[in-house]
Amino acid sequence: MHIPGHLAVALAEHRLLTRFGPDKQLPLRPLLLASYFPDVVDKTIGYVFHLMPNGRHFAHNIFALFGLSLAVTLMWGSAAGRAWFMGYLGHLLADDVRQVPWFFPVKAYHFYPGKLKFKLKQLAREMIFLAIVLLIYRLEPG
């Protein structure tokens, strides 16, 4: 999934959690930042610095999810930590879950070489998805 899709998932999560969940005051900013943080980290390491063969490794696992959520909680409080956790978890679940190395580095994974590429049809679908979610997000009172 590309960034527009991850942002759409994060906005939908935020709307659903604040509307129907127990956490009506969940802050949006950390949830949005966490929704694309794993790709910023791992794709930079993999495709810019070429230190890993692809773009899903150090930040795409449960240890990064829980560790970074704990760090955000300690630095900015529990509401920010909960929002970060939900945004981050949404990212990992929205990725192709078969390609997420959930238990790296504890479990060994074979990282197939990848390339940073944008699939135009998928990008267009995600932009439409984001536009629909933004419209619903703006129409629904928070």
Q: Please give the residue ranges that form the binding site for Zn ion (CB under 5 A).
A: 38-39, 95
Cβ 94 to Zn ion, closest distance in Å? 8
Alpha helix positions (H), the chain:
3-20, 28-43, 62-76, 78-94, 120-139
- Smaller CB distance to Zn ion: residue 20 or 49? 49
- Smaller CB distance to Zn ion: residue 13 or 39? 39
Cβ 26 to Zn ion, closest distance in Å? 22
Among 28, 35, 30, 26, smallest CA distance to 8 is for 35
- Smaller CB distance to Zn ion: residue 18 or 30? 30
Cβ 101 to Zn ion, closest distance in Å? 11
Query: If you write DSSP's letter for every residue of 80-119 in order, what string do you get?
Result: HHHHHHHHHHHHHHHS-GGG--TTTTTS------------
Cβ 95 to Zn ion, closest distance in Å? 4
Distance in angstroms (rounded) separating the CA atoms of residues 95 and 37: 13
- Smaller CB distance to Zn ion: residue 34 or 80? 34
